[in-house]
Structure 1
């Protein structure tokens, strides 16, 4: 196993071939995993062209500026039938971010969009250098444990894991909210964001970063909508809403088909964890270990993370529709 873990009286010493041994103070970590109060600074890491839920999540974050002060947007790599490889996926995501900002008429944010990794981590010790990883390292160093930078990640975790490997000092200055992996009860852990870069996932689950995990199947999969619901609440409200309906309907026709369909808008839930409202329920769990064979390993001696186990679907969609249609 890549990570050797030694229990300590007041915490946990995590040793990785890519990171120096680090004492994890569980009491301090639990404090840092509390929901933030007041307005906070946020960056988002997104494979925006991959599906249609990233567009909703990015728009929702920008429309929640009374609580979330967006500082930067990072384009994440992805590889599926919409890209020829992770580099192409990242570049297409960069273009989609710019398109969403245009629809939102937020030209002021375009200078804070950064290209991310062109490949996934080659190992658990080697970062992938990119504009996004370098910006996160530089930006995070101006924050503190008491006033951290919140990182919302809704794609492969390559950019964030790379930043941690480049400068582990940012672990004391960020809080990471990641939509990745499936629920612990799901029969396998072959989830798109995670299996693209298992090395990156193993880093963030083992390094002691304050981590909030939103599992996909079995938890966030409940956050689904339908064509008639989107048409009723969003059609004709603005250019962005019409675009979101059109791309969601087109993707549903391609992948779901049939007379009746529903579509999970997964990534919105990662943004929602940071907001004030009755949107989600979470609990403290010992950090699992994502293995390379699409399963989790568990060890109750490991440090804590926050695990979201339920989405209050109706409350969250009500807030999302209200904000997008403004």
Structure 2
């Protein structure tokens, strides 16, 4: 029997998708070892206590040249996540996530992360929802929704996933890795803020010189972030690197930095392209990012 997802009224959905104007409870789901930007995002979230009450961090699976498979990627991400939390002297708990991608469209993969997300979401309310920031394959979040669909009424997902609507495809790493999880997020009706990669988050580039000037000397974590950035390429001359993942925290910190609008939720075609259907439920879609105030905010918080 097909899973029945709760249905929000249009009024409820629009209200839930308004950018929060207060401090909110949040969790961050991250493939922390996959790239160099997750580390920046974890630090940025912890440095934003007036907007984010961080409840937990979850390690997401990934598979590329840095891992032997999704299980190995998740385990490396969990280890990296614990390292950063230690450098930040943070007491926020971290949980290992899924060891594999969803095997089918309605088949969750249980993990400590997914179970903890269900527990925290169910303890939240429709008036004070839990914000789920996701910056990797969205397996853990989709699994939690499939395990307990009622959490749709109690969470808002902010996901860095896919490419912009005008891009020639949406075969982006976070979205592409777990197509069943990605479709669950797009199709289930969970309140969703979608932050695309190519064409939107690509604005969030920085350089070794900038990281050396504003990050390197800011304690152990600043030194670590500098080293991670320095070692990501052999030749930095004339080069920059996109720190994609800080976009989710930037959205939470100041909506003016991430202009957005309400659009019908696009669906994902078999060849990984966006398909539009005006009859589908609304999501919030970030269509641009003002790069300078985001980095100025991050550097200022690190230096405080």
Is it true that 1:197 corresponds to 2:181 in the alignment? no
Q: Give the deviation of 1:187 after TM superposition.
A: 1.1
Is contact 2:5-2:188 (8 Å) kept?
no
Is it true that 1:289 corresponds to 2:273 in the alignment? no
Q: Partner of 1:160: helix, strand, or coil? A: helix
Q: Give the deviation of 1:18 after TM superposition.
A: 4.4
Q: Give the deviation of 1:74 after TM superposition.
A: 0.4
Is it true that 1:99 corresponds to 2:97 in the alignment? no
Query: In the aligned structure 2, how far is the partner of 1:183 from the partner of 1:221?
Result: 10
What is the match of residue 27 of structure 1?
11
Query: In the aligned structure 1, how far is the partner of 2:157 from the partner of 2:255?
Result: 19
What is the match of residue 36 of structure 2?
52
Q: Partner of 1:42: helix, strand, or coil? A: strand
Query: In the aligned structure 2, how far is the partner of 1:206 from the partner of 1:277?
Result: 25
Unaligned runs of 5+ residues in structure 1 are: 1-16
Unaligned runs of 5+ residues in structure 2 are: none
Label 1:21 to 1:132 Cα distance change in 2 as closer, same or farther (>3 A).
closer
Give the count of matched residue pairs. 304
Is 128-137 or 24-33 further displaced after alignment?
A: 24-33
What is the match of residue 10 of structure 1?
none
Is 229-238 or 75-84 further displaced after alignment?
A: 229-238
What is the match of residue 9 of structure 1?
none
What is the match of residue 55 of structure 2?
71
Query: In the aligned structure 2, how far is the partner of 1:22 from the partner of 1:317?
Result: 38
Q: Give the deviation of 1:258 after TM superposition.
A: 5.8
Q: Partner of 1:43: helix, strand, or coil? A: strand
What is the match of residue 116 of structure 1?
97
Instruction: Give matches, 1:102-251, under 5 Å.
Output: 102-106=86-90, 108-109=91-92, 112-251=93-232
Query: In the aligned structure 1, how far is the partner of 2:114 from the partner of 2:264?
Result: 27
Is contact 1:198-1:291 (8 Å) kept?
no
Q: Partner of 2:206: helix, strand, or coil? A: strand
Label 1:22 to 1:102 Cα distance change in 2 as closer, same or farther (>3 A).
closer
Deviations 1:165-185 (A, max 9, x none): 000000000000000000011
Query: In the aligned structure 2, how far is the partner of 1:18 from the partner of 1:205?
Result: 16
Deviations 1:74-106 (A, max 9, x none): 000000000000000000000001110111122
Query: In the aligned structure 1, how far is the partner of 2:83 from the partner of 2:61?
Result: 17
Q: Which has more strand, going by share of residues?
A: 1
Label 1:310 to 1:31 Cα distance change in 2 as closer, same or farther (>3 A).
same
Is contact 1:241-1:325 (8 Å) kept?
no
Query: In the aligned structure 2, how far is the partner of 1:302 from the partner of 1:222?
Result: 29
Deviations 1:24-60 (A, max 9, x none): 4222101100011221100010000000110000000
Q: Give the deviation of 1:145 after TM superposition.
A: 1.1
Label 1:18 to 1:94 Cα distance change in 2 as closer, same or farther (>3 A).
farther
Q: Give the deviation of 1:22 after TM superposition.
A: 4.3
Query: In the aligned structure 2, how far is the partner of 1:179 from the partner of 1:317?
Result: 17
Is contact 1:18-1:165 (8 Å) kept?
no
Q: Partner of 2:212: helix, strand, or coil? A: helix
Deviations 1:188-212 (A, max 9, x none): 1110000000110111111111100
TM (normalized to structure 2)? 0.97
For the aligned residue pairs, the C-alpha RMSD in angstroms reads 1.2
